[in-house]
Structure 1
Amino acid sequence: MSRNLPRTAKRVVALGLGIALAGSLAACSSGSGGGASADTATSDELAAALEEKSSITVWAWAPAVEPIAEAFEKAHPDITVDVQNVGTGADQYTKLQNAIKAGKGAPDVAQVEYFAVPQFSLGDSLADLSGYGYGDLEDDFTASTWNSVTDGDAVYALPQDSGPMAMFYRQDVFDKYGIAVPTTWDEYVAAAETMHAADPNQFIAGDTGDAGFTTSMIWQAGGHPYSVDGDTVSIDLQDEGAKKWTSTWNTLVENGSLAQTPGWTDEWFRALGDGSIATMLTGAWMPGNLEAQAADGSGQWRVAPMPQYEEGDTATAENGGSSIAVMEQSQNKLVAAEFAKFATAEEEGRQISFDAGGFPSTTADLTDPEFLSEAPEYFGGQKINEVLGQAAQDVLPDWQYLPFQVYANSIFSDSASSAYTNGTSLDPVLEEWAKATASYGEQQGFTVETE
């Protein structure tokens, strides 16, 4: 899209999908911070590396990375950056894993979604950047995104964007049925029942079973289904947060209030455009997707905080977002690391990312008055970043992903599809998913504890 459009008009991102990785994964070392000690380099050594002729290869699918590479080359004329799109999310992860297994062929730098970072930090596949002083960048990023790329003192990637969750909703649909915008989950369920009863073709939301959405919703409910301590992993998809979420979502699944329209299809975007799907509970990167793909909804969409389990609470979670990592195989780590820093922590790289569709992970940008004052016509002139920026501050802390989350996400539909199709409880789905995930973890050499 045109670079002179406002940032909110261009937040178009590709969502990665989980995959089953080929071959066995190396068991991660025990203790905080992962495996081998980080390489070290002073700021002078990093700067000197940028003044020597060399090249790096970057694997990424985000549209921002190519112009970021061009800006980096302009700033450092001795460096050549070869950006390769080898596939979105799942496809790239398969190629990365194959290169890791072969011991050769990996790029210097790779885009890695947050849920996949633990998996690729196994066996030192990702370089620990803490020895370059990058641990000092912690305060530049939101707590949730920084937590997703670090393990103890180790820094395995730098956050590029974020996806704090909010409720995107059709004001016209709520007005049509005389329903107040829900602030609690009880109100949300009641609104769903009211509008679906009035019109069987009207749905509060669409959900056919998505692993990333499910874990984010459990996170928002205060759940901690995964705990990782070295090579010991705990999986509990029946904890209080998981039960809290299913107690709400089961009602919507069982009474048919959720559209069974696969996400990211033409049919789905038409439903968002005509309002037959009235809300989306998703990451803050969604505005550009709506503007680009659901143009008929212009002027009708608004943004509100996520509904809460207790009136007055403000809890939310992350959904989506990617980091920039340096691969341990890289033979040019200093330049690769500086590229990662340029793309994520330096103003020029960050701005390019925002212009191409990313939602900030950097605290300075989330509190920038210009950013907060954006009032896109698509959202009726609402200052939506005031809501989304606050959501970034309200993400619940201490979330952990599995060190084999990519695989876990890839098998979720095996358990979930029939429940969504037949309108039955999700509790057995989570039980089955936990068992299958635990079995895989044990096969990879982890000690897995289940509840």
Structure 2
Amino acid sequence: MKKVMAGALTATLALSMAACGGSENGNGGGGADASGKTTLEVWAWEPTLTDVAEAFEEKNPDITINITNVGTATDQYTSLNNALSAGSGAPDIAQVEYYAVSQYAVSNSLMDLSEFGADEYGDFYTPGTWSSVSINGGVYGLPMDSGPMALFYNKEVFDQAGVTEPPTTMEEYYEAAKKIRALGPDYYITCDSGEPAPEELMMWVAGGTPFQVDGENLTINLTGDEGVQQVVEWWQRMVDEDLIDTHTPRWSDDWSRKLNDGTCASLTIGAWMASMFDDNAPDTVGQWRAAATPVFDENNPLNGEDGGSTLGIMASSDKAEAAWKFIDFAAHSEEGIDIRVDQGQFPADNATLESPEFLEITNEYFGDQKYNEVLSESAAAVFTDWQFLPYDVYARSIFGNSFGPAALGDATFADAVASWEQELIEYGKQQGYTVNE
């Protein structure tokens, strides 16, 4: 699998062998030190894990959890790939987003947790999260949180436009977009500048299966996939009619400003956004609501997963048993899960999503709506046949090269899909995969 790892260490990740690969692993020769204590190195950006670690250490005084934030998402993967390539410096445990799990699983960098009994946990987690960690018969992480997609909309703006009920289908969404656009020159139903989210994720919602992974055999078929083509047709119509703000990237200052003043009137985004609205749009308390993602086929309502992450054990760790105890506590025990959920993280386990305490939560920001009822149903609707490429980190990094021009009207979305498909096929072949087109 050296060719797979080589693929993970190229392109836009801009890996430098000196970045962190020159440091020693720090794992020692046999787990515990002279005092009998074991220190686990954990790379994670999620702040709630600090409280989880403290609770774990109280119950396991012989294990110390050292959490290091080496960067969020892609930045962490860059550092992780450097360490793996150098053969030293990797942590014992890493936080890995669902779309990146496959990359580390197929390269044998993540440990198969089945030996600890994780393969019996399937019913504990939501369908979407479990399918993302279950690869080629193994289990390569425990779901820590999830991001089922939902429609968050500014009810005040929607009402002003005459959209009194949230759209449930993409056709209704299109009609709502026209009414909101009529409110004024700056009003749009949403903002999208050709980013992987939400466009790639809408392919998931449409029931697309453009990527099929069978070991080293890949099938990449974006141009011939029915779900993908539905998104292409719909998105092209929205852009052609100037119904989407294509000039405002997500997470930019302008994006937050437009959420705050209502000119970006909705988002199709992961459920975790519920805990982030008050930071990005502090002046819109009481205006926002949550609804199910608009679907392409009302007779077959499907959903996608936007974000969320796992805790996985690196195969290079010599402290696997202690590492398993920690991730099992953090992602599988009621106490570990409650610590994170109480701080606003969206759970990945069915028990929490179905609990009255969770479902009854209200928030002034959402007009005292029981928004978790909507988000829980969204989690249950995630389409589990979707697969990620074993180099999806790279795939997302080049997404904008093709879809950015299409969003700005300089190319069609059909062209964008064909271009992205060809780049992914060529890259897969370069890494030694057998790619069926």
Q: TM-score, normalised by structure 1?
A: 0.87
Return the alpha-carbon distance in structure 2 between the equivalents of residues 357 and 120 of structure 1: 28
Residue 354 of structure 1: CA displacement? 1.4
Letter in 2 for 1:438: I
> Aligned to 2:101, which of 114, 117, 142?
117
Structure 1 equivalent of residue 49 of structure 2: 65
| Matching of residues 173-212 of structure 1 within 5 Å | 173-180=157-164, 181-212=166-197
Q: Is it true that 1:389 corresponds to 2:368 in the alignment?
A: no
Structure 1 equivalent of residue 401 of structure 2: 414
Structure 2 equivalent of residue 137 of structure 1: 121
Structure 2 equivalent of residue 306 of structure 1: 293
Structure 2 equivalent of residue 402 of structure 1: 389
Encode CA deviations 1:238-270: one digit per residue, 9 max, x unaligned. Answer: 210001111111111222211221111222111
Q: Is it true that 1:228 corresponds to 2:213 in the alignment?
A: yes
Please tell me the root mean square deviation across aligned C-alpha atoms, in Å.
Answer: 2.0
Return the alpha-carbon distance in structure 1 between the equivalents of residues 297 and 128 of structure 2: 22
Structure 1 equivalent of residue 24 of structure 2: none
Return the alpha-carbon distance in structure 1 between the equivalents of residues 295 and 197 of structure 2: 19
Encode CA deviations 1:260-310: one digit per residue, 9 max, x unaligned. Answer: 211112221111111111110011111111022211111010111111223
Return the alpha-carbon distance in structure 1 between the equivalents of residues 197 and 259 of structure 2: 20
User: Is the 8 Å Cα contact of residues 305 and 314 (structure 1) preserved in structure 2?
Assistant: no
DSSP-derived class of the 2:326 partner: helix
Structure 2 equivalent of residue 96 of structure 1: 80
Return the alpha-carbon distance in structure 2 between the equivalents of residues 254 and 183 of structure 1: 22
Letter in 1 for 2:170: W
User: Is the 8 Å Cα contact of residues 297 and 378 (structure 1) preserved in structure 2?
Assistant: yes
User: Is the 8 Å Cα contact of residues 281 and 306 (structure 1) preserved in structure 2?
Assistant: yes
User: Is the 8 Å Cα contact of residues 303 and 384 (structure 1) preserved in structure 2?
Assistant: yes
Q: Structure 1, unaligned stretches of length 5 or more?
A: 1-17, 24-47
Letter in 1 for 2:176: A
User: Is the 8 Å Cα contact of residues 130 and 153 (structure 1) preserved in structure 2?
Assistant: no
Structure 2 equivalent of residue 270 of structure 1: 257
Return the alpha-carbon distance in structure 2 between the equivalents of residues 159 and 150 of structure 1: 10
> Aligned to 1:75, which of 51, 55, 59?
59
Return the alpha-carbon distance in structure 1 between the equivalents of residues 282 and 366 of structure 2: 11
Structure 2 equivalent of residue 292 of structure 1: 279
Structure 2 equivalent of residue 245 of structure 1: 231
Return the alpha-carbon distance in structure 2 between the equivalents of residues 60 and 448 of structure 1: 33
Q: TM-score, normalised by structure 2?
A: 0.90
Q: Is it true that 1:20 corresponds to 2:13 in the alignment?
A: yes
Residue 321 of structure 1: CA displacement? 0.4
Moved more, 222-231 or 64-73: 64-73
User: Is the 8 Å Cα contact of residues 261 and 267 (structure 1) preserved in structure 2?
Assistant: yes
Return the alpha-carbon distance in structure 2 between the equivalents of residues 191 and 294 of structure 1: 22
120 and 152 in structure 1: CA distance in 2 versus 1, 3 angstrom threshold: closer
DSSP-derived class of the 2:186 partner: coil
Count of aligned pairs between the two proteins: 410
Q: Is it true that 1:283 corresponds to 2:276 in the alignment?
A: no
Residue 21 of structure 1: CA displacement? 6.3
Structure 1 equivalent of residue 91 of structure 2: 107
Return the alpha-carbon distance in structure 2 between the equivalents of residues 67 and 242 of structure 1: 41
User: Is the 8 Å Cα contact of residues 19 and 409 (structure 1) preserved in structure 2?
Assistant: no
Residue 423 of structure 1: CA displacement? 6.2
Residue 19 of structure 1: CA displacement? 4.9
User: Is the 8 Å Cα contact of residues 250 and 424 (structure 1) preserved in structure 2?
Assistant: no
Higher relative contact order (CA 8 A, sep 6+): 1
User: Is the 8 Å Cα contact of residues 136 and 214 (structure 2) preserved in structure 1?
Assistant: no
Residue 20 of structure 1: CA displacement? 3.1
139 and 52 in structure 1: CA distance in 2 versus 1, 3 angstrom threshold: farther
User: Is the 8 Å Cα contact of residues 136 and 215 (structure 2) preserved in structure 1?
Assistant: no
User: Is the 8 Å Cα contact of residues 170 and 300 (structure 1) preserved in structure 2?
Assistant: yes
| Matching of residues 433-448 of structure 1 within 5 Å | 433-448=420-435
Moved more, 242-251 or 308-317: 308-317
Structure 2 equivalent of residue 256 of structure 1: 242
Q: Structure 2, unaligned stretches of length 5 or more?
A: 1-10, 17-31
Encode CA deviations 1:63-101: one digit per residue, 9 max, x unaligned. Answer: 112221111111101111111001111111011111111
Q: Is it true that 1:365 corresponds to 2:356 in the alignment?
A: no
